[in-house]
Amino acid sequence: MKIQQICLTASNCGQFRFPADVDPSIHQHDWESYTASLLRSCPESIWPQGSPTAHSLPMLVTAEDHINPLRAFHDALVAAIVDIVNRWWTDTAADFPARMPIEPYEESLLRWMNTLPAGTVAPFEKCLGSWRPDFLIEHVADPSSSDGTREQFRVCEINARFCWNGYLHGAYGQQALDEMGAEERGFRGAADCEETLNELLSLFDTSKPLHFLKGEEKGIDIHMFAHAVEERTGIRPRFITPEDLRLVPSIKAPLGQKLCCVVSPDAETSPQSTIFEFNGEWLEEIYQVNLELHQRELRAMPTKILRHVSLHCFNDMRTIFLVHDKRMLGIILQELDVLINRHVLTPSQADLLREGISTTFIPGSPEMAQFTQDSQVNPTLKDGYILKPIRSGKGAGILFGDELSWQDWQTKLQTCQQATLAPGQMSYVVQRHIPQGVYDVCMKNDHEKKQMQMVGTYHVVNGRYLGIGTWRCSPARICAVSRGGSMICSVYIDDAAM
């Protein structure tokens, strides 16, 4: 069964009603009930502007066609990434640093972390952090289906830089569907609010003070999560900036100094906080910190401070610098045979990744060189591909081949012939342009049916699959809520109710 939008209170597990096919008052009532639930979960003043009303009625997915294949794909993806990252600096035959070079300060930091005594830094598989793989939907041939096609999810990037984005929107959206009677109608949520929040809370020690290190990023779910942390644990996270950080000598600290931040003398503190005066400033010791910083902000930090931050942050630097990088998908595709030979993946798991990851060519690779040569011979080849900045987010900087002249396309490809990554220099991966399926959607509380494209995501904390997150839905080629799109949560049929 294909993904479809339903009006929840007019549907049940045996009958699915599209929002435009029910009385407009029912559609409006569902939308208002959903909105009211969101605002009960988190005050409107804390939500990003417009978010509580940027939702649309839910999508219906199936366990057999969507959730189970996604879980299997995820298990293979985690196994592949953990093995690759753990071999990053030691596997001289693979030579990952040459194939996917990172900035010098990043390499220096990760190599330093790799040389620390056992126990100083947790093994990567124990601190994977939060990932949000994005996927597109392609309709591929399947003779066994009623219409001859099936929906194939193609992962196009892994968002892993900022811990919380999307998680609270998804969790509270799923809770809203539960409160609207999804279970009574024979449906289950594609993710669970309590499970999601509990897994996010497991990223840190709730008995210790918590700091959120932010800079120029305005923040989306981070403010909602701060509210949830205080509501559930009594801890009020302290928001700090890189300029607030200080190092103070300490014979007990692993590196001979402890990481602290500047606070006002009358700052509100928890009983577990350590506040003291040093060099004329009031400081608070940092035990655990979450980063919401761009790479350029990390680059601007003094090396000593960055090293201390790397020991206290729970969105691990290996995740930020390697997993979040758009080139990682290309590395995985290159390594599939090696991963089979190393018994990390079974051949069937490798096939899942080969089919479920968008074709990705990374700068300086043999695949990129061959693609560039093919593009010179075939001027229309570019129309089936896109250029994506290797460290962008929110759809920024994506270039579609069919919107560029052949000359512009060739010029861009020439910048991708070397693997080297330099500060301030735009570097791209080439990905196949997925011919996305188009879906009938009633956007937000609009009763009119429109044809939309959707981008999906699923949520992961420390390697554990938590379910499908919010769909981003838009008539534009790049689906982004910031560009007028909508967010949609999902339900699936509860087999026990059939």
Q: Is residue 281 included in any domain, yes or no? A: no
With a cut of 80, say whether residue 481 has pLDDT above it.
Answer: no
- Please tell me the least confidently modeled range out of 114-118, 309-313, 405-409: 114-118
How far apart CA 394 and CA 42 sit, in angstroms, is 24
Name the token pair of 36.
């009211």
For residue 484, the model assigns a pLDDT of 67
- Choice between 442 and 498, residue whose per-residue pLDDT is larger: 442
Cα torsion angle, 227, 228, 233, 237, sign: negative
Q: Is residue 374 included in any domain, yes or no? A: yes
pLDDT tens, 28-76?
999 999 999 999 999 999 999 889 999 999 999 999 999 999 999 999 9
- Please tell me the least confidently modeled range out of 143-147, 261-265, 392-396, 435-439: 392-396
The DSSP secondary structure of 155-212, one letter per residue, reads EEEEE-SSSSTTHHHHHHHHHHHHHTTTGGGTEEESB-HHHHHHHHHTTS-TTS--EE
Note down the domain range covering 404. 359-433
For residue 90, the model assigns a pLDDT of 95
Angle between helices 406-414 and 366-377 (to 10 degrees): 160
DSSP β-bridge partners for residue 384? none
Q: What percent of the chain has pLDDT over 70?
A: 97
φ, ψ at 289 (rounded to 5°): -140, 140
For residue 412, the model assigns a pLDDT of 93
Q: Is residue 204 included in any domain, yes or no? A: no
* Cα→Cα distances 450→195, 257, 278, 431, 458, Å: 33, 59, 62, 28, 25
For residue 269, the model assigns a pLDDT of 79
For residue 437, the model assigns a pLDDT of 86
For residue 17, the model assigns a pLDDT of 96
In the chain, the number of structural domains is 1
How far apart CA 227 and CA 171 sit, in angstroms, is 14
pLDDT tens, 76-87?
999 999 999 999
Name the token pair of 157.
């990037």
Section 91-103 average pLDDT = 97
End-to-end CA distance of the chain: 16
Smallest CA-to-CA distance from 57 within 3, 108, 19 is with 19
The pTM of the full predicted model, rounded to 2 decimals, is 0.96
Section 327-334 average pLDDT = 98
Helix (H, G, I), strand (E, B) or coil at 364: coil
Q: Is residue 389 included in any domain, yes or no? A: yes
For residue 395, the model assigns a pLDDT of 64
Q: Is residue 386 included in any domain, yes or no? A: yes
pLDDT tens, 148-177?
999 999 999 999 999 899 999 999 999 999
List Cβ neighbours of 130 (8 Å cut-off, separation of 6 or more): 160, 163, 164, 167, 200, 203, 315, 459, 460, 461, 462
Q: Is residue 406 included in any domain, yes or no? A: yes
pLDDT tens, 6-24?
999 999 999 999 999 999 9
DSSP β-bridge partners for residue 150? 140
For residue 274, the model assigns a pLDDT of 85
Q: Is residue 380 included in any domain, yes or no? A: yes
How far apart CA 167 and CA 402 sit, in angstroms, is 34
pLDDT tens, 226-278?
999 999 999 999 999 999 999 999 998 888 999 999 998 888 877 788 899 99
For residue 179, the model assigns a pLDDT of 98
For residue 73, the model assigns a pLDDT of 98
With a cut of 60, say whether residue 498 has pLDDT above it.
Answer: no
Q: What percent of the chain has pLDDT over 90?
A: 84
Q: Which secondary-structure segment (H or E) carries 459?
A: strand 449-461
For residue 497, the model assigns a pLDDT of 59
With a cut of 70, say whether residue 393 has pLDDT above it.
Answer: no
φ, ψ at 40 (rounded to 5°): -75, -30
Q: Is residue 135 included in any domain, yes or no? A: no
Q: Read off the pLDDT band of 145 (50, 70, 90).
A: confident
For residue 49, the model assigns a pLDDT of 87
User: Whole-number mean pLDDT of the chain?
Assistant: 94
pLDDT tens, 119-136?
889 999 999 999 999 999
